[in-house]
Amino acid sequence: MKPLDTDDPRVVGPFELLARLGAGGMGVAYLARRIPLDGLADELAAAYNLIELDEAEPYESRLVVVKMIQPSLLDGEPQARERFGREIDAVRAVVSDRVPALIAFEENPAAARPWFAMDYIAGPSLHTMVKEHGTFGIGPYAALGLALVDALRAIHGANLLHRDLKPANVVLGPDGPVVLDFGLAVLIERASEQALTKTGVGMGTRHYMPLEQLKDAKHVERPADVYALGATLFFALTGRPPYPYVPLLSDPKWEGVEPAFLPLLAKILVAAPGQRPHLDAVEDGLLTLLAEADLTAELAAEELRTLVEAAGLTPQLPAEVLADPVDPAVQEVARRAVEADQPDVDPGFYGMVDTDEIEMAADADEPAPASAPHPPTLVDPIPAQPAAPEPGPSTTSYRLQPPRRRQEPLPAAADRPPRAAQNVAARLRKAYAHRGNL
């Protein structure tokens, strides 16, 4: 977790960004919290597809992860916006305790920078946990495996493939492991003209993908995710991937793997996808391992939870993140953005201090070195300067279109729907205008 950079926005939709969580090839992830905007509940839901929150839970304590597309991709990669949209669809489609819930998203194709918000899971990644605290024993290993089976069941049940399951995309939260990052998720039944991945192109993380995905990521099926599950479990036991560079036809190096773990892993980590077990068989293998060690799934989950707590690697949030009320100036910025249906706010509106540029890790699979959580510090907000008026008698700070003659007077302001609702209605009218059945 790192401070916001000077180029990062401070407000995105109805969320206040608090810190950077990390960056990858497709997007940047931020820790954020919901901004309370009294009297705009319906407009927020309409403009940002916002789910209803528990009224008894304070907005300030509801932390989320806001993921935004990398700005460099919007111009240099024509398919980036569509791929990011499909990631939103994937997160929305999967309902499971092993996958973060989607909270809100911006689906307006004209948005300057698409984003979505999902539940924040407080915990270290599996990669960080193993590298910093050591490899797993039978109980934590089996608990991890059973959680990943549940996650993949939910993903496959939504007719999706993940295609990038790896230790860096597994967070060990207070309620168990959770699978993140659907940036490479894809519909299993996909028409070739709709597919964004080209035939013969490998996508994913080479250390944890199977050989068939390295050769052709477009046509992989569920066994590819099963292989990634096995490779992730292999890492939990050894601290390394099955192969040092790319998957091979030969068997992995089994040094350091105790005999009790070999029967299941040897079935999963094979080159031929048709020979890998289904998820039910993987679950049976993990439960057999627990039974032979005189453990239950519940005891194994408790062992994993205790191990994570003892490691002390869960990011510590500054007290002010949860205790301080949202700055009224930030609330006003968010309110104007919602009412104008312009989620992207000028990042330079507020001055920032203590935000020296931090170089991200070169390898996207290797998390940046851990650092103490540091909340962004605001200086006194700079009053908004009105835009230069257009030539003419008008003194409004907004640019106006040339007046048009109307046959009937405009309704009173109190009778007009809010701006956000008007914008949503306009988008719906535009979308339905092109449908042939209307």
Catalytic residues: 164
Share of the chain above pLDDT 90, in %: 35
Q: Are residues 374 and 354 in the same domain?
A: yes
Percent of the chain topping pLDDT 70: 64
Q: What digits encode the pLDDT tens for the residues 71-114?
A: 777 775 667 777 777 778 878 888 899 998 888 888 666 667 78
**pLDDT score, position 328:** 83
**Contact in structure between 25 and 19 (CB atoms under 8 Å):** no
**How confident is the model over 291-316, as pLDDT tens digits?**
999 999 999 999 999 999 999 999 88
| Sheet arrangement for strand 27-34 | 11-12, 15-23, 27-34, 63-69, 115-119, 102-105
Is residue 386, in this structure, part of any structural domain at all? no
Together in a domain, 149 and 259? yes
Query: Does 236 share its domain with 105?
Result: no
Q: Are residues 154 and 76 in the same domain?
A: no
Read out DSSP for 251-284?
PPP-TT--GGGHHHHHHHS-S-GGGSPPHHHHHH
Indicate whether 50 pLDDT > 90: no
Q: Is 353 a member of any domain?
A: yes
CATH number for position 360: 3.30.200.20
Please check whether residues 201 and 350 belong to one and the same domain.
no
Q: Which helix (H) or strand (E) holds 177?
A: strand 176-179
Say yes or no to pLDDT of 165 above 80. Answer: yes
Condensed to tens digits (0 to 9), the pLDDT of residues 237-278 reads: 999 999 998 888 888 999 989 999 999 999 999 999 999 999
200-210 tens-digit pLDDT:
334 668 899 99
**Residues 70 and 22 both lie in one domain:** yes
**Quick one: which H or E segment has residue 127?**
helix 126-133
420: pLDDT strictly greater than 80: no
Range among 183-192, 295-304, 329-338 with highest mean pLDDT value: 295-304
Beta-bridge mates of residue 30: 20, 66
Cβ–Cβ under 8 Å, residues 232 and 170 = yes
Asked if the structure places residue 150 within a domain, the reply is: yes
> Which has the closest alpha carbon to 355: 321, 378, 334, 371?
378
User: Which of 282, 311, 340 delimits the end of a domain?
Assistant: 311
Q: Point out which residues pair with 170 in neighbouring strands.
A: 179
Predicted TM-score (pTM) of this structure: 0.72
Q: Which domain, by its residues, includes 154? A: 126-311
pLDDT band at 231 (very low <50, low <70, confident <90, very high): very high
pLDDT at 185: 56
Run of H or E including 178: strand 176-179
SS3 131: helix
Q: Which residues pair with 33 in a beta bridge?
A: 16, 63
Asked which of 4-13, 279-288, 332-341, 347-356 is least confident by mean pLDDT, the reply is 347-356
Mark whether 181 and 226 lie in a shared domain. Answer: yes
Domain count, the chain: 2
Residues 136 and 281 in one domain: yes
**Do 307 and 340 share a domain, yes or no?**
no
What is the distance between the alpha carbons of residues 115 and 84, in angstroms, rounded to a whole number? 8
Q: What is the pLDDT of residue 236?
A: 98
The last residue of a domain, from among 280, 311, 342:
311
Where among 254, 278, 311 does a domain terminate?
Answer: 311
User: What CA–CA distance (Å, rounded) separates 71 from 85?
Assistant: 15
Residues 221 and 357 in one domain: no
Q: Over the chain, what is the mean pLDDT? A: 74
Q: How confident is the model at residue 342 (pLDDT cuts 50, 70, 90)?
A: very low
Does residue 172 lie within any of the structural domains? yes
Residue 424 falls inside a structural domain: no
For residue 358, tell me if it sits in a domain.
Answer: yes
Question: Between 400 and 133, where is the model more confident?
Answer: 133
CATH code of the domain covering residue 253: 1.10.510.10
Q: Which of 8-17, 19-28, 276-285 has the highest mean pLDDT?
A: 276-285
